[in-house]
Structure 1
Amino acid sequence: MPPAAEKSDTVATARIPTGRWWRPVVLASVAACAACGLIYELALLTLATTVLGGGIVATSLIVAGFVAALGLGALLAKPFVDRAASTFVWVEGALGLVGGVSATLLYVAFTTLGSQTGSLVVLVLATAAIGALVGAEVPLLMALLQAGRLSGAEETGRTLANLNAADYLGAVVGGLLWPFLLLPTMGMQQAAAVTGLVNIAAAAILLALVLRHFLTRARAVAAGLVLALVAALLASLLVAVDDVTEWSRARLYPDPVIAHTQSAYQEIVVTRAKYNGRTDRRLYLDGTLQYSSLDEYRYTESLVLPAVAGRPSDVLVLGGGDGLAARDLLGVPGIRRVVQVELDPAVLRIARTHLRADNEGALEDPRVDVVVDDAFAWLRRGGDGAVPVGGFGAVLVDLPDPRNPALSRLYSQEFYGLVRQVVRDDGLMVVQSGSPYSTPHQYWRTVSTVRSAGWGTTPYHVHVPTFGDWGFVLASKDGTPPGLRLRTDVDDLRYLDAGVLGTATEFGRDVAPMDLEPSTLDRPRILDDTRRGFER
């Protein structure tokens, strides 16, 4: 190779491969690397939802930070375009390593740093690094595709069009692979590591077929060793990822984990421990506790009993995939049918197995019709024929707190308006609404939002030891604030009585009612309320 080629890869035209075959290979590599780059970004977005609650701030930081880092990476690549082949190998090696370990690093940071701020810092740094490396790819590959050509404007334009088309096509493939294949079958950490290996494999194939022609033998060997080293590190991570996850999870959950799965929607964990001879099973969704078997009856009775005071025969449960609400409903005389709408089939599988002792097999009872669907979409379609003539006598809205945009839809004025369409004229609705003490703005925002949809509202709260002060909203379709009444024909109640309900509508000065604007699809105000409460 001429001396000048020791400095520059792309000017060594004597070593450029002949024929037309090599440029399509470069474009195929562009598509593969673009798919990997988008998967890394989607993994970070998924992690933001799981470990940071998926708030607007975290999501915006990822999207805006990634786009900004793309531009920064393109600028940083400018001094290296005359060494495009060797630089590209180093970039792909770094990208495969950073992207492949990013999910594990963020998960470990979340479970060990003990603060949202620390996790957010790791998230921002990972986003910036991945975005900058992805942004450097296009200028380097453009330099390779133009190697040996004396191109005019038209030829340059065609080359750039081909490059962008391959880049965008790869992004589409990556965008489809993440939610439909990688995340459900592997989980976030393994999927990110496997993507890193694919990234390295694409770079290695490109090196073997094309880039070696632009490099001296020593540089080609060094580039191959770099890629092999990164592949070995990612393979080691794949072997150890389960142990790392178990170690991290043990720091996050106080009790032994007996079940864990990552669904397309959330991380689901069940723990079990013994306290004074009593078994305590706990369900967590995305790290947030949903119930403890030691005191869940307080929550469940408070949710179910006020809503069935009107003696309904058909009841709709939105959410409540753990089966606890269905269990208590089946013990109420006169209820002939329960329609349970739950989004996540993985929650239902957990409920039918590991949580069966708690829900007493309620989801298998012939009186319970389980519908796997998004509650908002199901209501918009009018219930797909499952709504009884005249509507349901009662609706239980037992959904997780609105900690991300997807859940905030289910706490909107529009959502409660849709519920009205499937309730009979004298029907009642009850909504779990968070803690008036810990998340006061979320609680009173929910009350205001339900009222804004035309319901008459009665806020009430009870004490659940695991959660502290916990609130609900009882609502009537006729617009009159309903009274809290306890049926006398329900046996085996462990908590509720007339005295408890008599004081449940009283709120102390530190949790006094607030008149807030409703949360809507256009203005999901409740998102900030929930975030503020969690920070508090």
Structure 2
Amino acid sequence: MKGWSNETLHADYAQSLRIGRLIYDSETEHQRLRVFENDTFGRVLTLDDVVQTTEADNFIYHEMMAHVPILAHGAARRVLIVGGGDGGMAREVLKHASVEHVTMVEIDAGVVAFSQAYLPMLSQGAFDDPRLDLVIADGAAFMRETAGGYDVIIVDSTDPVGPGEVLFTDTFYGHARAALAEGGILVTQNGVPFLQGAELTNTMRAFKALFPDWTCYLATIPSYAGGPMAMGWGSAGTARQTAPEVLRARFEAAGLDTGYYTPEVHLGAFALPGYVRRLMP
């Protein structure tokens, strides 16, 4: 449809967003990047026509990927973000004054450059924070070679096609497990289970072999159509059992102003509907 961005990620399901104004359209070595305006979602970023994030609803994804593991951990000082070139994940992680160092590994410098230019509302100055170390490199290679010691690792990947495919392998998850400090937490983007069930099952099978505590949690993000999104959780510690009153105290102490995350939503996100439970190995 002329004047629409048509996403065809799934074989028998598609969504379209009206392009009010095309702002940026360029093809890099790795992918086609587009930014356009939509009356409902504000500025929209697509990679190869697949919606990655929007101005209006990105807070849901970024809050749930960042605050759930950091507040559950309770003493996270070193955080690794794999992907996240738009800066939204770094924005949320760096809201925690207790986090002393954030390493962000992004494969495509072009994503960072145009996000700073065309989507500054996502990063909100995160790239200028002295605690952020931006590394332009392949995330899988970095994970294989890093000395580790991270309290929280957040895999803010694209879908398992193209450059992002390697971030969904058993080998990558094994290297991530080795890069965690004692009691550390790994969280991953695992798509929409109703439409991408195999993606969640495969990740959970790997997590089951690697972590004593493994599961996923859910968040509903309007621009990721097809139902709630799953976020993988793996840990060798007991952070998922953090008491509600402790989560509330940590949340208030952090002084976070959130649009989706609350300690109650945090706990409820781990209550999985039957069709998602059936995807677990």
Scaled to the shorter chain, the TM-score interval is 0.7 to 0.9
Question: 2:57 touches 2:223 (CA, 8 Å); kept in 1?
Answer: yes
Matches within 5 A, 1:384-423: 387=148, 391-404=149-162, 406-423=163-180
Q: What is the match of residue 265 of structure 1?
A: 30
Distance of aligned partners of 1:481 and 1:312 in 2 relative to their CA distance in 1, 3 Å threshold? closer
State the SS of the aligned residue for 1:507: coil
Distance 2:141 2:43 in 1: 32
Distance 1:316 1:344 in 2: 17
Q: What is the match of residue 428 of structure 1?
A: 185
Contiguous gaps of at least 5 residues in structure 1: 1-107, 118-250, 517-536
Using the TM superposition, give the Cα deviation of residue 475 of structure 1 relative to its aligned residue in structure 2, in angstroms.
Answer: 1.3
Using the TM superposition, give the Cα deviation of residue 501 of structure 1 relative to its aligned residue in structure 2, in angstroms.
Answer: 2.1
Question: 1:413 touches 1:452 (CA, 8 Å); kept in 2?
Answer: no
Structure 1 residue 298 and structure 2 residue 55: aligned? no
Distance 2:215 2:275 in 1: 19
Using the TM superposition, give the Cα deviation of residue 463 of structure 1 relative to its aligned residue in structure 2, in angstroms.
Answer: 1.3
Q: Provide the identity percentage.
A: 26
Matches within 5 A, 1:86-485: 254-275=19-40, 280-309=42-71, 310=73, 311-382=75-146, 387=148, 391-404=149-162, 406-454=163-211, 456-467=213-224, 468-478=227-237, 482-483=240-241
Query: Which stretches of structure 1, 4 residues or longer, exceed 4 Å deviation after superposition?
Result: 114-117
Distance of aligned partners of 1:270 and 1:440 in 2 relative to their CA distance in 1, 3 Å threshold? same
TM score, norm. by length of structure 1: 0.46
Matched pairs, number: 262
Letter matched to residue 278 of structure 2: P
Greater Rg, structure 1 or structure 2?
Answer: 1
Distance 2:67 2:175 in 1: 23
Distance of aligned partners of 1:280 and 1:474 in 2 relative to their CA distance in 1, 3 Å threshold? same
Using the TM superposition, give the Cα deviation of residue 257 of structure 1 relative to its aligned residue in structure 2, in angstroms.
Answer: 1.6
Question: 2:101 touches 2:131 (CA, 8 Å); kept in 1?
Answer: yes
Distance 1:295 1:352 in 2: 18
Question: 2:152 touches 2:184 (CA, 8 Å); kept in 1?
Answer: yes
What RMSD over aligned residues (CA atoms) do the two structures have, in Å? Answer: 2.5
Question: 2:25 touches 2:34 (CA, 8 Å); kept in 1?
Answer: yes
TM score, norm. by length of structure 2: 0.84
Letter matched to residue 416 of structure 1: Y
Contiguous gaps of at least 5 residues in structure 2: none
More helix by share: 1
Using the TM superposition, give the Cα deviation of residue 378 of structure 1 relative to its aligned residue in structure 2, in angstroms.
Answer: 1.2
State the SS of the aligned residue for 2:220: strand
Letter matched to residue 500 of structure 1: V
Question: 1:267 touches 1:286 (CA, 8 Å); kept in 2?
Answer: yes
How big is each residue's C-alpha offset from its partner over 1:474-508, in whole Å with a ceiling of 9 and x where there is no partner? 21135x68337743223201111132223212222
How big is each residue's C-alpha offset from its partner over 1:433-467, in whole Å with a ceiling of 9 and x where there is no partner? 11122212212222222222345213110211222
Distance 2:9 2:93 in 1: 39
Distance 1:436 1:115 in 2: 14
Question: 1:461 touches 1:471 (CA, 8 Å); kept in 2?
Answer: yes
